[in-house]
Amino acid sequence: MDKIIEIKGISKEFNGEQVLDNISLDIHDKEFVTLLGPSGCGKTTTLRIIGGFVTPDSGDLFFNGKRINDLPPYKRNVNTVFQKYALFPHLNVYENIAFALRLSKTPEKKINMRVNEMLELVDLVGFERRSVNYLSGGQQQRVAIARALINQPKVLLLDEPLGALDLKLRKEMQTELKKIQQHMEITFIYVTHDQEEALTMSDTVVVMNRGTIQQVGTPQDIYNEPVNAFVADFIGESNILGGIMHRDRLVEFAGNIFECVDRGFAPMEPVDVVIRPEDIVLTEPTADTINGVVESVTFKGVHYEIIVQASDTWIVHSTKAREPGDIVGITLSPSDIHIMKKSSAFSQGSFITDETEVRNIE
């Protein structure tokens, strides 16, 4: 696969606040890339830099090998689906979609053909003459996608496009977007703070926090092999504990010494230990298990979420219910203990983020 977009050492500051701190990223042709992270992590700014709406303070942006730092948005072969759609209220559905073609003075016949193609693609045939102000959120979303795709861009940028839709519609649109991407055979760069959305749709997930890229990988990589405690916590739920790596494959945490599969740490190096709640097995308490008291049990549909109070507080997912007050043993197998270097970018427990996105408006 060819690189279509290269971000090289880009930094950006708004009012003295470092929004992007020397990020580098390659995006390949026909790839579905998701920029994932909490509010203010710089994902939207990254997207806006690619779109041409924000100029980086330093660093370079390449498109097909050409530096495009100073190219205005209207000269880039990139189109954007905006967060709140930004449909033109004074134009109807047809004219909104035809906007880009009208600008380039395309013959009427071709416009008509292309718009109809797009209407079919987003399943809005019959809505041509409607005013965009009286469409539902999902329909407006479709118009925005059709409008952005009509110029046949090489790359489509999507800024939290499903954020305003309800859960069911969001799921439908997720599959549909993926289909459209595969059908059009173009690159999608998708910004979201919803980790589930990122895992479902993407070929590559880019996890960002505080203006830096934390990890780039396939959804499986990101989920199964998070590089640090932030990624582990942001993607799914995790138990994160402080520990000490005694030597290769031997770690101490929660008052016990455990075998693990990680190595390459300095002797007695302090580390973060990450354990997924679904990897924990609750047994009868023995001398070899971490023993604690069940504090609460919540039914979650597929599983029960059980909070166990030992020397630390543990989240356990189990298909078997327990009663609050039960004494249980936490059993871990070596491959489920993930050891990570202490990350200095944040302090433990303080990085859980809210779900609402606050945008940077220059």
Q: Which residues of this protein are in contact with another protein, per CB under 8 A? A: 51-53, 72-74, 78-80, 82-84, 86-90, 99-100, 103-104, 130-131, 134, 147-148, 151, 361
Nearest residue (CB) to another protein, 15 versus 344: 15
Q: How far is the CB of 132 from another protein (least distance, A)?
A: 11
Q: How far is the CB of 90 from another protein (least distance, A)?
A: 4
Q: How far is the CB of 32 from another protein (least distance, A)?
A: 20
CA 40 – CA 56 distance, rounded (Å): 16
Q: Nearest Cα to 205, choosing from 234, 240, 175, 237?
A: 234
Nearest residue (CB) to another protein, 79 versus 192: 79
Nearest residue (CB) to another protein, 89 versus 107: 89
Nearest residue (CB) to another protein, 105 versus 109: 105
Q: How far is the CB of 131 from another protein (least distance, A)?
A: 6
The residue ranges of DSSP E strands in the chain, in sequence order, are: 3-14, 17-28, 32-36, 58-63, 66-67, 78-81, 155-159, 187-192, 204-209, 212-217, 239-247, 250-253, 256-259, 269-275, 281-283, 290-299, 304-309, 313-318, 327-331, 338-341
Task: Report residue 192 as tokens.
Answer: 């979201």
Q: How far is the CB of 188 from another protein (least distance, A)?
A: 15
Q: How far is the CB of 110 from another protein (least distance, A)?
A: 15
Facing residues of 318 across strands? 304
Q: How far is the CB of 253 from another protein (least distance, A)?
A: 48
Nearest residue (CB) to another protein, 67 versus 359: 359
Judge residue 330's burial from the number of C-beta atoms within 10 Å of its C-beta, 0-12 exposed, 13-18 middle, 19 or more buried: buried
Nearest residue (CB) to another protein, 65 versus 72: 72
- Backbone φ and ψ of 156, nearest 5°: -110, 130
Nearest residue (CB) to another protein, 103 versus 268: 103
**Angle, vertex CA 25, rays to CA 19 and CA 28, nearest 5:** 140
Contacts of 128 (CB under 8 A, 6+ apart): 92, 93, 94, 115, 119
Q: How far is the CB of 127 from another protein (least distance, A)?
A: 12
Q: Nearest Cα to 15, choosing from 48, 57, 52?
A: 57
Q: Tell me the three state secondary structure of residue 51.
A: helix
Nearest residue (CB) to another protein, 100 versus 273: 100
Nearest residue (CB) to another protein, 146 versus 235: 146
Contact of 226 with 338, CB cutoff 8 Å: yes
Task: Report residue 302 as tokens.
Answer: 């597929």
**CA dist 177 → 137, 173, 267 (Å):** 15, 6, 48
Q: How far is the CB of 30 from another protein (least distance, A)?
A: 21
CA 48 – CA 36 distance, rounded (Å): 15
296-304 long-range contacts, CB within 8 A, separation 24+: 296/324, 297/321, 297/322, 297/323, 297/324, 303/278
